[in-house]
Chains A and B, each alone.
With several copies, the nearest count.
Chain A
């Protein structure tokens, strides 16, 4: 994979676009995650109500891939039911780990699939999702694939 494939237009668009960046004042959940092997850290703000993920915002330090991944994740999860959100996260994690996954469940996040060949950078992409999983995915869902 060359640089342009890794830093695709899709990723650079979401990195530069600055959507979903920032704290949500009315968030119901705040959760932190970090990737100690590279130093990246992220804080997610989630507004959850009536079984639905209403809004997601994020703050933190990270490379273009992790920032884009956070923005895309927020975009995809917003408006989803808790169950749909969990299924999306579980499938994204499977995709990044090179396991079989349900492509219909993850939408545009499929653009990150190539990273499964790059374990160092896959860690960057997965950080926001792993962090969201702390709130949205139960142990049971992790096992069954939601």
Chain B
């Protein structure tokens, strides 16, 4: 067994930045795919906002409101830069789920697309909006079947030959249940060659990999703040400006309207205004920009290397437990889906959580169809992030061994 030590980041300093480990020094937090912990700098950005900069944005002229508006808009620029987009291409939302609903609703009601295509390994949030809005609007819905947990460009090519264009293809960058890194760049090119649009669900990808919206040349991208060190309740919808400015609003209310009249109202022309109806999660926006700064400071590629080492170490060690089956593909990143032949996933997670302080997740991981494709109904998932250590991996493995003694 080779334990690759990870030196990509200074783990001790990083852990010091996260107060949760001060409060629970022996917590092994391996549920990062569900949500990440938050560094002090992000927590402070939120308190600081409420103590010194809180006012509603956009519509007032006194200095406090100007401060909050500046902060809101400069955060937009920072977050846009983080994923290689322009500031007028980034809309703030509640999270990936809302982002996907906004874009699915708008593309479905535009009357411009004949088919929506989604692989069946997607998180429910990148499946249900497409399914619902296509059925509702008489658009064909194609759930691409998968063998196991992967999807090759060749398979996609074959499927797309049958699909009526113009179509929308929505695909995760990193699949939340298995950690499968999809070939979304090649698929984007392919989809474009077939006359389709692509939507990348970056909820798991953006926290782990440097993403360049312009270079990938995707049409839309969504992601969530809370999985990348920011507050809950904030996320983004990124879209090429000419597409974004064309989306039907999803939420109607203050701030997104141009002229209101009793007969019919007209809405703001830019997507960034038109799609941000009502008071936004301003502190969430501030926290997301702060999280991007922190991630940049540590370095996304260093984080990637570190997490990759941890994933490989854990994969090797898991494989040595005879009764454990790993469902993740051989090169999955940050995430390992596995189960124990003789201990139910909930029992194992419960044992690890309550007796070993090892937090992993069990269940279907909002991916019932991926579970079905793997022939299971639930499994355990361990997911890693920048503050995890090789020691954490060892504690996971030891914990499973102890569970075997307890349950069997």
Contact = CB atoms under 8 A, between A and B. Distances in A.
Interface of A: 2-3, 6-7, 34, 36-41, 61-65, 118-121, 124
B354 A3 contact: yes
Interface of B: 58-61, 66, 69, 73, 257-259, 344-347, 350-351, 354-355, 362-364, 368, 371, 376-378, 407
Choose among B347, B354, B378 the residue with the greatest number of A CB atoms under 10 Å from its CB. Answer: B347
Choose among A36, A61, A119 the residue with the greatest number of B CB atoms under 10 Å from its CB. Answer: A36
B344 A64 contact: yes
Contacts of B66: 118, 120
Nearest to B407: A64
Contact of A61 (B60, B69, B351, B377): B377
A40 B378 contact: yes
Contacts of B69: 119-120
A39 B61 contact: no
Nearest to B259: A36
Contacts, number: 63
A37 B363 contact: yes
A140 B61 CA distance: 34
> What does DSSP make chain A's interface, helix, strand, loop or mixed?
mixed
20 contacts: A2-B354, A3-B354, A7-B351, A36-B257, A36-B259, A36-B368, A38-B363, A38-B364, A38-B378, A39-B378, A40-B377, A61-B377, A61-B378, A63-B345, A63-B346, A63-B347, A63-B350, A64-B344, A119-B73, A121-B346
A63 to B, nearest CB: 4
A3 B350 contact: yes
Contact of B59 (A34, A37, A63, A64): A37
A120 B64 CA distance: 13
A7 B350 contact: yes
Nearest to A1: B354
A41 B377 contact: yes
Contacts of B368: 36, 39
Contacts of A121: 61, 346, 350
B353 to A, nearest CB: 8
Nearest to B348: A63
A37 B345 CA distance: 13
A6 B364 contact: no
Nearest to B364: A39
A121 B363 CA distance: 12
Ranked 6 nearest A-B pairs via Cβ: A39-B378, A39-B377, A3-B354, A63-B346, A63-B344, A39-B364
Contacts of B407: 64
Contact of B258 (A36, A40, A65): A36
Given A36-B368, A38-B378, A39-B376, 19 more contacts: A3-B350, A3-B354, A6-B350, A6-B354, A7-B351, A36-B257, A36-B259, A37-B58, A38-B363, A39-B363, A39-B368, A40-B346, A40-B377, A61-B378, A63-B345, A63-B346, A120-B61, A120-B69, A121-B350
